[in-house]
Amino acid sequence: MTKDNGRAGELMTVDIQDVSWVREGRPILKNINWSVKPGEHWAIVGLNGSGKTTLLNIINGYIWPTTGKVSILGQAFGSVDLRELRKAIGWVSSSLQEKIYRRESAKEIVLSGKYASIGLFEQPQEADVQRALEILDQLGCARLAERPFQTLSQGEKQKVLIGRALMTSPRLLILDEPCTGLDLFSREQLLMSIERLGRLPDAPTMLYVTHHTEEILPIFSHTLLLRRGEIYSAGKTADVLTSDNLTSFFEAPVDIHTKDGRLWINILLQPERA
């Protein structure tokens, strides 16, 4: 198992120390120690029930750890207004699509991120309108600005929601399984947009949550493997995502191959005998 969590006195974007979370007597997260440096982009990989959503909720301050210490963007929980802290964190998930006012335009959806609201209820300033248009252009969505949200494809909707999260210039951007429900072409288009975003000089630190290693782009230099509420491995992606380590992590034989800087898994299961 690989560990790479040295702090060396540096102010961390994410700093989680000895965190556990227990619900109804059952441990959901156990002894989590994890740190993310500013500008590091991490992938978080785990099967269903591994504790990924709980970890994200703790990072966002929506739930409080049962034990341990949490500091996000240099702000220690217990000494910071979490409502203010969340303004510096962007969180994009496919479930957010269900809450969006579907008749609003892509531009209006992005603008609503300025106010952290579902729906645009204030007259935006011209500078904010230009900022929203620039974000859409960065994501390759300039042509969608006036299109109603309900007319967009799933991939286009996800790009618009990423734009919404970027409207406040967050220092930390969490992409929670953003490719869920996308077809092959939409997925690749969305991943290309995320790759471009991650390479911008002022890009926020990104956490990308997924089940699928092939979605882990070259910009995600570090990977965390979460299994049954515990960190199995955390470190440089090249060290963590090896055939031997993933075989042990998934508790099933796998082989990986690399193409264009991305890792693809082959499951080496023997066919059942008749």
Q: Give 228-248 pLDDT, tens digit per residue.
A: 999 999 999 999 999 999 999
The dihedral region occupied by 35, where left means phi > 0, alpha psi between -120 and 50, and beta the remainder, is: beta
Q: Give 37-47 pLDDT, tens digit per residue.
A: 998 999 999 98
Indicate the pTM of the whole model: 0.87
- State the average pLDDT for the chain: 88
**Section 13-37 average pLDDT:** 95
Contact 222, 234 (CB under 8 A): yes
Q: Give 88-140 pLDDT, tens digit per residue.
A: 999 888 766 666 767 889 999 898 888 766 666 667 788 889 999 999 998 88
Q: Which CATH number fits domain 1-88+172-274: 3.40.50.300, 3.90.190.20, 3.40.720.10, 1.10.4080.10?
A: 3.40.50.300
Q: What's the pLDDT at 41?
A: 96
Question: Distance between CA atoms of 231 and 23, rounded to whole angstroms?
Answer: 18
Q: Taking the chain, what is the end-to-end CA distance rounded to the nearest angstrom?
A: 37
Give domain limits for the chain. 1-88+172-274, 100-169
Question: Distance between CA atoms of 73 and 9, rounded to whole angstroms?
Answer: 14
Q: What's the pLDDT at 65?
A: 95
Q: How big is the chain by its Cα radius of gyration, in Å?
A: 19
Q: What's the pLDDT at 98?
A: 65
Question: Distance between CA atoms of 163 and 167, rounded to whole angstroms?
Answer: 6
